[in-house]
Amino acid sequence: MLPADWTPHRRDDGELLGWISPEGEDWVAIDVLGRTASAPVDWLDAEAALDEVGLAWLADVWMLEGEAPDPLRVRFVEVTPSDGETPGRVVVKVDDFGDMQRPPSARFTLPWPAPDRLRPARPGDPDGRTLG
């Protein structure tokens, strides 16, 4: 469930970018995965942090650890924050490189806020194209 003191922050088209949460006398930006997106700052800087982060990163490759010996390359399928009594969830699928001919790739349903084992890809991560 979302904390009552989180204020939604949306783009001009109404798309949710995240929330702004009070921290002492400052504010912290929280992204749609439920993760901190700024240090404690003033309100306008928290809004700017969410505007800067945007949503494009949802299309990037991420890595999911703990499901296989090596981290898995994954893409987001769904990000649904908690709402009232309904717990949120994050659904990712193993990166299929957009190949519509292959069988559906494995999906993993994670809790929301997203756990730390779901992370952005880093240099040196398996790229899915190189055979070991």
Instruction: Specify the pLDDT at position 45.
Output: 98
Both tokens of residue 105? 């790739």
34 neighbors 19 (Cβ within 8 angstroms): no
At 99 the pLDDT is 73
Residue spans of the domains in the chain: they are 7-55, 60-120
pLDDT at 132 over 60: no
> How confident is the model over 26-74, as pLDDT tens digits?
999 999 999 999 999 999 999 999 999 999 999 999 999 999 888 999 9
E strands within the chain? 7-10, 16-23, 26-31, 62-64, 72-80, 89-94, 107-111, 118-120
pLDDT in tens, 67-110: 988 899 999 999 999 887 889 999 999 998 767 677 778 999 99
Confidence of residue 129 (pLDDT cuts 50, 70, 90): low
Tokens of 23: 């921290």
Give the SS3 label for residue 110. strand
Give the mean model confidence (pLDDT) for residues 11-40: 96
Query: In angstroms, rounded to a whole number, what is the distance separating the alpha carbons of residues 57 and 31?
Result: 11
